[in-house]
Chain A
């Protein structure tokens, strides 16, 4: 009986208070750091950042390309996000990257979408690369001919 009491005192008693406060302190620190890391990671791979980055990259690619060029662009991160946000069917319908006139629009989420102009007077098309019915994570940008 006496031994059990001394054990309980270790957790709840005078001596134990120090241990509990230390654990709470460490847990709070870890929670704090975890929130910070999640925030940083989410900011860097957010849909808004990706849409802007892809739209501008594609516009610059088209600007610097000569007609009859095919560019294979790595968009794994964006396509993975789009699968969860808008679904595979809409990716297959070429809804992630749209080129209308001389405007590139990238849309990874339903809410978002980012557009950027290019100045090269070419006819360009974009579609996702699909092998055996699966997305490879690449997008094909085709620069067909001068308008």
Chain B
């Protein structure tokens, strides 16, 4: 093969490489920017913070949650979403609620059985939290986040409060 023929073959080879690299970059960029930003973990975190602020201030459980005598305020269980300023209404965007929020109160002496539980939102999302990260379709399930903190009651008793927040919204956060 003469020099000119070799150069032509080299040019074709070079262009093939270039097309492959460009195709790779194109595919990567396209995939990256066409995946929505998943902000559900941040939302769940904010939900937990807001609820924790509502339940306890300066390390003390609010008197409208647990009374001085250590009993739980039952009406608060029903109305806690309103009292803590949560609005889970999605309008017409979704058929069902996209949020779930639950708080369990444990006495320090008995960390197995909760003294009281409050919950609001769509309970159907709880099943999604049982999926393991390596399971199929895990990415397309709701985002669950659990955090816990200790607080004192009005009478000085110690309580453990576990908060579970779940955010669905898969349509806007997952492809």
Chain A residues with a Cβ under 8 A of chain B:
17-18, 21, 25, 28-29, 32, 36, 39-40, 43-44, 46, 49, 52-53, 56, 59-60, 63-64, 101-103, 115-117, 119-122, 146-147
Given A36-B25, A36-B26, CB of A117 within 8 Å of CB of B90: yes
Given A43-B33, A52-B37, A119-B87, CB of A60 within 8 Å of CB of B26: no
Return the chain B residue nearest A28 by Cβ.
B15
Instruction: Please state if A56 and B33 are interface contacts (CB–CB under 8 Å).
Output: no
A17 cross-chain contacts in B, Cβ below 8 A: 4
Count contacts between A and B, CB distance < 8 Å.
Answer: 72
Q: Does B6 contact A (CB under 8 A)?
A: no
Distance, CA A60 to CA B47, complexed state (A): 10
Could you show 23 A-B contacts with beta carbons less than 8 Å apart?
Answer: A18-B4, A18-B7, A25-B14, A29-B18, A32-B18, A32-B22, A36-B26, A40-B29, A46-B33, A52-B36, A63-B46, A63-B50, A64-B46, A101-B89, A102-B89, A102-B91, A103-B91, A119-B88, A120-B50, A121-B82, A121-B86, A121-B87, A147-B87
Return the chain A residue nearest B53 by Cβ.
A66
Count of B interface residues, CB-CB < 8 Å: 34
B89 cross-chain contacts in A, Cβ below 8 A: 101-102
If over half of A's interface residues share one DSSP class (helix, strand or loop), that class is named, otherwise mixed; here it is: helix
Distance, CA A120 to CA B84, complexed state (A): 9
Instruction: Please state if B18 and A119 are interface contacts (CB–CB under 8 Å).
Output: no
Given A32-B18, A117-B90, CB of A60 within 8 Å of CB of B39: yes
Contact with A along B78-94 (1 / 0, CB 8 A): 00001001111111010
